[in-house]
Amino acid sequence: MKALVVLAHPTAGSFNHAIARTAAAALSHSGHEPILHDLYAEGFDPVLPTAEIPKNGDVDPVVREHCRQLSDAEGIVIVHPNWWGQPPAILKGWVDRVVRPGVAYEFGEQDSGEGVPIGLLRARGAVVFNTANTPAVRESKVFGDPLETLWRNCVFGLCGVEQFHRRMFGVICTSTRRQREAWLDEVTQTVRRLFPPT
């Protein structure tokens, strides 16, 4: 099984990097083929140019390769911090440019774009791992957990991925080494459960 792992954190050596490496290792250990993209390290350009907006638009070769990998993926893992209840801009730009019409979704023949899209992704499951410095209770009570809505409903649900799991790890800034080790073990177990060995 091909699995796409997308990491969005600017600091090398961050806990997000550890999560992404752990997820990729768990996929590989289960006999899958992980493709890991560190968007910051790769210098991914998040700006969506006008020419790329149409379904048959002129798509940059780097973006085209990301699209191919997303389309081929049977499993998807996204890793990013919670910044203002949103992913970092580089990851939002990745969604804008890669989760595109004709790749991740399309509209029916009689639909001019005003209806409900038809999901095209073949991934049987997706998992999103987030980090935060906001306690989970406050995140849910005060902010309504916007990342859950974004990833479950607005991205993966719309694009046809039915099995979805998300886990927020925190509070990162006060966590101990033992807590982080336990969280990484949870990452391994979650990935193995969602994407069992072939």
Task: Return all residues near 167 (Cβ < 8 A) that are at least 6 apart.
Answer: 127, 128, 129, 130, 186, 187, 190
Q: What is the pTM of this model?
A: 0.95
| CATH code for the domain in which residue 20 is found | 3.40.50.360
pLDDT of residue 60: 96
pLDDT recorded at residue 134: 81
Among 103, 37, 133, smallest CA distance to 76 is for 37
CA dist 7 and 21 (Å) reads 9
Chain mean pLDDT for the chain: 94
Query: What does the chain come to in residues?
Result: 198
Q: Which two tokens stand for residue 162?
A: 């039915």
Residue 141 confidence class, pLDDT cut points 50, 70, 90: confident
Contact assessment for residue 24 and residue 76, using Cβ atoms and an 8 Å cutoff: no
In contact, 70 and 104? CB cutoff 8 Å: yes
Structural domains in the chain (count): 1
Residue 75: which domain range?
2-194
